[in-house]
Amino acid sequence: MSRQTVDEQELFLDCLELSGPDRAARLARADAEVAARVGRLLRAHDAAAARGMTLGSAVDDTQSAAAPPASIGPYRILEALGEGGMGEVFLAAQEEPVRRVVAIKLLKPWLAGSSLAARFEAERQALALMSHPGIARILDAGRSDDGRPYFVMEYVPGLPITRYCRENRLDLPTRLSLLRDVCAAVQHAHFKGVIHRDLKPSNILVTDIDGSPAARVIDFGIAKMLLAQDEGRPDHTRAGMVMGTPDYMSPEQATAGAEDIDTRTDVWSLGAVLYELLTGAPPKARPDTADGETSRPSRRVVAAEDGTRHAAECGLADARQLARLLQDELDWICLKALARERGDRYASPADLAADLGHHLSGEPVAARPPSLAYSARKYVRRHRVVVAVGVTTLGALVVFSAMVSQHARELRVERDRASAEAALARRVTAFTAQLFDQASPSSAGAAAITARELLDAATRQLRGRGRSDPPDVRAALLESVGNAYVGLGLYPEAEPLLREAVTLRRAEAADRPAALGTSLQSSARLALGAGDFARAEALGREALTVLETSATASTAERHAARLDLAETLRRAGKLDEAAALAVTAVDVLGRSSDAGSDVHALALYTLGRIRAAQGQLDAAIALLEQAVERRQAMYGDSNVWTNEAKNGLADALYLRGDLGRSEGLYRELVASNEEIFGDDHQETGIVLSNLANVLGDQPEKRAEAAAAYRRAARIVRARLGPMSPETATIENNLGSLMLATRDWHGAEQAYREALRIRLVVLGTEHPETAAAQMGLALALNKLGDFPTARSLLEQAIAVFEARLGAAHWRTANARRYLGTVLTNLRLYDDARATLDRAHADLAAALGPDHPRTRSAATALEELAAARAR
Amino acid sequence: MRGDLTQLLDRAADGDASARDALFAEAYDELRKLARSSMRRESPGHTLQPTALVNEAYLRLLGPDVRWENRRHFFGAAAQAMRRVLVDRARRRDADKRGGDLERVSLTQVDVATEDAQVDVLALDALLAELEGVNPRLVRTIELRYFGGLDIEATAGVLGVAPATVKRDWAYARAWLLERLSG
């Protein structure tokens, strides 16, 4: 560049700042030839300015050269204000119905009819959605005489926020509360489904209103409508943001393009503006951030040349004083807002605003210094060469370890000084999480019963304190306590905790989908435990969807969710879908590297349970035997998971009529559960009820069976309440035993109770509801109410046929009893047909020697005898 | 985005001049095609819209998911290519027997406005060539602002200078062009 041009340009720019006599004086001091050229340049410039352009204002650089129209619709154009990506902005006067000055955005002439016109319309719609004092309001919209769409906005005669703060020498608290207002405005936009995507000082204008500064967010020209119907259309609607402003552009905007933008993009940009308000410069455009890490504001102001000037603009003596004010809390807040990973940022502008509020009012902030793990990651990145050497030789490895521990010590010292409280909080968190794990019955054995007090105390603590924990930490705590409650069968206590955990996980779902999936699973298990199958199913389906679509979820996690859903569907009686899900899991896991893992064992168990429910007992027993073996190998013999599989196996054996083996397994389970959970835990109660079933089928053991049922019913009612599915099951079983002991009234009472609960909990179409109807029918048959008994059995058979299949042993068994009722009604031909079919189906399903098959044969003999009479 | 373009952008980012030339060629071809189809679609006398064309070329060649660094290099090349496309077209028109039917370009993006906000592309090109010898950065600024349609901040990003510098360069270059075009 020639010396001459530099002089010419400098003189020109100097003169632009001056007017009239000052400018003439300045030109007169310069070299005559240069002054003449600059004089011509200035005249050319002024001529252009006279047509509506002024140089030197904040918006000058985007002015349009086209002479503005005299009017747009009913608005009289005063001057051109500037130009955005798609539109020109004019200052205009409105005369009717009110006299005021407004801003009008008019689509650029060459864009009319193009796809960008849709974008323009989208901005208008975005503005129309919002109503907030921090966002310029839209007043009107229409088409100009030449057919270009325009919209009319409130005119904001403000300065960019950074410039306003600078020129008015606002102190730090005023700057912070101003930014807090901006956060509230952006939060409002997010609430309305609008992401701004181009937040920067020139789009945040500050005006004086009644002597205090008021900020307004403008230019939603490249805003993204979260719920817009044209989402994802790969057209030019993003062309306006092709070149955003890099300084205030979030890392994902700079690297990932427009597809993967969410509300936390605006959080980053707000953080960048905050950074500039605190340090005098945006975070990126610094030589000291070449490695991509943002330097702390407190370090930046002492390191930068202009630190003292900026400190003065904040009303402070020097950069050191400013640094002291920024150190720790404001550093952390900035870095949290500017975190590279969105999951590490504030979840919303409201959270950023809240933390600014905490700082202003002297409360502890949620932002924390970078964690040790985070620092260690950075350390490894910075020392990658050492790491690479470290894995090659033992000697280097030792050296590396020493370096790491030294570094960790330094970090610890720094951290402890910075935030002893934060470190303490982390330790407490780790400690209590550990306590909770121990309290869960699956790892704590008999001590679990006393865990209730611990959990209640933890819950009180979570309700009172802990609001300031980061969302992921709080969610983890809530899940620990909630799951432990579920483990203890304390479902109402668990519910609010797990619900809040899901809410927190949802907010972070984009980054930690697997955590949301797991949280949903916990809630689903709670709902299943509490007998709310519909809710359990809905949660289970969502958990599966979340994990299936998550890139980070492991195969094991996905199949665990699939199996949880299958189990829920089994319990809800939707056996076909349950089987399909479980078969997939068994097949895939059996062929994967997860073969033999705990999830594989879970798959075998779940499918075994479903096959048993479907009446495929041999398949069920084979699967469940495998599940027991694997879990014995993994966990040992007296363990909740081994017991679960044993219970399934014992149930299947019982259904197949293998009473001896089944009884042996149940007795083991009762003893083991008493040992693990205690005498009055529902798991003990449930297994007792199962043992009683086997005992009740053996006439010589019916007294023991009745005692077992009574104890089981007492435990389960106390634990799970009178309306739980388990209570219904035990009542049902008790009714069955009463039938066996010929206590018809006792049986009627028990079955009516079971039916009452199941009609509410399971509905009319559930096989277990049908089972209770069948039991009640048997009792009524003995009591002589044959028509009611027949009606109940016909209903039950219809449900069994629909849900289990026409040839299922339970359908056949119900048919066998209908045959007896028909016999009693003296409808012998119907009875004969019904019993023949029942006998054949039972023989096919359970074998000719099964007690139920033999019972059908007996019924046929009774029919023959009745006919003979 | 096409794989070879990714490589070109990466190499251009590393300062590889031949990659930058290849990038320019790619952008030029695409812009010429777009300009041709744009003229076919529109009525006679229609003016080209450099900004829209560059954006369209950008989206067609690169797609939306491009790193900022790479976008910079693309826009640097595309702005120059756009200038070439316009000049080539103006020259062809000049050579045409009908004559006098100069390619007119809307100059709404640049403040080198004459009465009808249109400028003779060849005159502008000649002035830019003159300015190139005096201060190349001013020319890059004009190209990016006018032919590439970038705002002050984006232009600063591409050129790797402070926005304030672009603003000053722009004010001066604009006056410089205005003075000569109106003279």
Q: Note whether A746 and A739 are within 8 A (CB).
A: no
Q: What one-letter code names the amino acid at A2? A: S
Long-range pairs of A619-625 with CB within 8 A, sequence gap ≥ 24:
A620/A648, A620/A652, A621/A649, A621/A652, A621/A653, A621/A656, A623/A586, A624/A648, A624/A649, A624/A652, A625/A649
Q: Is A217 helix (H, G, I), strand (E, B) or coil?
A: strand
A243 contacts B157? CB cut-off 8 A: yes
Which of A1, A61, A200 lies closest to B170 in CB terms?
A61
Which of A8, A61, A259 lies closest to B167 in CB terms?
A61
User: At B37, is the pLDDT very low, low, confident or very high (cuts 50, 70, 90)?
Assistant: low
Q: Note whether A651 and A613 are within 8 A (CB).
A: no
CA of A339 vs chain B CAs: smallest distance (Å): 18
Which of B55, B111, B157 lies closest to A63 in CB terms?
B111
Which CATH number describes the domain made up of A159-363? 1.10.510.10
Tens digits of residue pLDDT in A740-764? 788 899 899 889 988 888 887 777 8
Question: What is the interface pTM, i.e. ipTM, of the complex?
Answer: 0.72
In this prediction, residues A643-669 reach a mean pLDDT of 89
B49 contacts A236? CB cut-off 8 A: no
CA of B93 vs chain A CAs: smallest distance (Å): 22
Identify all chain A residues contacting B71, using CB atoms and an 8 Å cutoff. 242-243
User: At B64, is the pLDDT very low, low, confident or very high (cuts 50, 70, 90)?
Assistant: low
**Distance of CA A675 to CAs A643, A651, A669, Å?**
12, 21, 10
Backbone angles phi and psi of B113, in degrees to 5 = -85, 135
The fold for domain A719-868 equals: 1.25.40
pLDDT value for A235: 34
B137 contacts A110? CB cut-off 8 A: no
Q: Considering only alpha carbons, which residue of chain A is nearest residue B145?
A: A62
Higher pLDDT residue, A807 or A452?
A807
B55 contacts A239? CB cut-off 8 A: yes
Given a cut of 50, whether residue B105 has pLDDT beyond it is no
Least confident of A311-325, A369-383, A470-484, A688-702: A369-383
Q: Note whether A238 and A276 are within 8 A (CB).
A: no
- Selected for mutation to probe chain A from B72, B153, B168, B169 (highest A CB count within 10 Å) is B153
Least confident of A177-191, A193-207, A430-444, A496-510: A430-444
Q: Where are the alpha helices (DSSP H) in A285-393?
A: 297-303, 307-313, 319-326, 329-337, 349-360, 372-382, 384-390
Closest CA to B144 of B117, B94, B109: B109
Q: Note whether A699 and A733 are within 8 A (CB).
A: no
Which of A9, A67, A285 lies closest to B172 in CB terms?
A9
Asked if B164 reaches chain A (Cβ–Cβ under 8 Å), the answer is no
CB contact set of B7 (below 8 Å; sequence gap of 6+): B19
**Gap between the Cα atoms of A255 and A752, Å rounded:** 66
Tens digits of residue pLDDT in A9-35? 888 888 887 777 788 888 888 888 888
**Distance of CA B65 to CAs A61, A252, A478, B31, B55, Å?**
28, 10, 38, 20, 14
- Classify burial at A496, counting beta carbons within 10 Å of its beta carbon; exposed 0-12, middle 13-18, buried 19 or more: middle
Q: Note whether A620 and A608 are within 8 A (CB).
A: yes
**Gap between the Cα atoms of A832 and A819, Å rounded:** 7
Given a cut of 90, whether residue A229 has pLDDT beyond it is no
In this prediction, residues B15-44 reach a mean pLDDT of 68
**Gap between the Cα atoms of A521 and A757, Å rounded:** 26
Which of B55, B67, B182 lies closest to A254 in CB terms?
B67
In this prediction, residues A654-668 reach a mean pLDDT of 88
Q: Considering only alpha carbons, which residue of chain A is nearest residue B48?
A: A110
Q: Note whether A498 and A478 are within 8 A (CB).
A: yes
Domain range summary for chain A, segments of one domain joined by + = 3-50, 60-154, 159-363, 378-418, 719-868
User: At A58, is the pLDDT very low, low, confident or very high (cuts 50, 70, 90)?
Assistant: very low
Say how many C-beta atoms besides its own lie within 10 A of residue A22's C-beta. 12
Identify all chain B residues contacting A61, using CB atoms and an 8 Å cutoff. 151-152, 167, 170
Token pair in block for residue A73: 């619709």
Domain range summary for chain B, segments of one domain joined by + = 3-182
> Which residue is listed with tokens 């469940």?
A624
pLDDT value for A664: 92
**Gap between the Cα atoms of A551 and A195, Å rounded:** 25
**Gap between the Cα atoms of A631 and A622, Å rounded:** 15
**Gap between the Cα atoms of B69 and B91, Å rounded:** 34
Tens digits of residue pLDDT in A117-162? 666 777 777 777 777 888 888 888 888 877 778 888 888 778 889 9
Q: Which of A181, A198, A469, A651 is catalytic?
A: A198
Chain B segment 113-152 residues within 8 A of A by beta carbon are 113, 117, 134-135, 137, 150-152
Token pair in block for residue A102: 């407004």
Q: Considering only alpha carbons, which residue of chain A is nearest residue B178?
A: A44
Q: Note whether A845 and A839 are within 8 A (CB).
A: no
Q: Where are the alpha helices (DSSP H) in A419-508?
A: 420-439, 441-444, 451-464, 471-487, 491-507
In this prediction, residues A799-803 reach a mean pLDDT of 87
Given a cut of 70, whether residue A378 has pLDDT beyond it is no
Given a cut of 70, whether residue A856 has pLDDT beyond it is yes
Token pair in block for residue A200: 């920067």
Give the CA-trace dihedral at A380, A384, A386, A388, to 10 degrees: 110
Q: Considering only alpha carbons, which residue of chain A is nearest residue B152?
A: A61
Token pair in block for residue A80: 């051109």
Q: Is B42 helix (H, G, I), strand (E, B) or coil?
A: coil
Q: Note whether A239 and B55 are within 8 A (CB).
A: yes
* Domain A60-154: which CATH number of 3.20.20.80, 3.40.50.920, 1.10.1040.10, 3.30.200.20: 3.30.200.20
pLDDT value for A793: 94
Per the annotation, the verdict on A576 as an active-site residue is no
Given a cut of 60, whether residue A609 has pLDDT beyond it is yes
Q: What one-letter code names the amino acid at A529? A: G
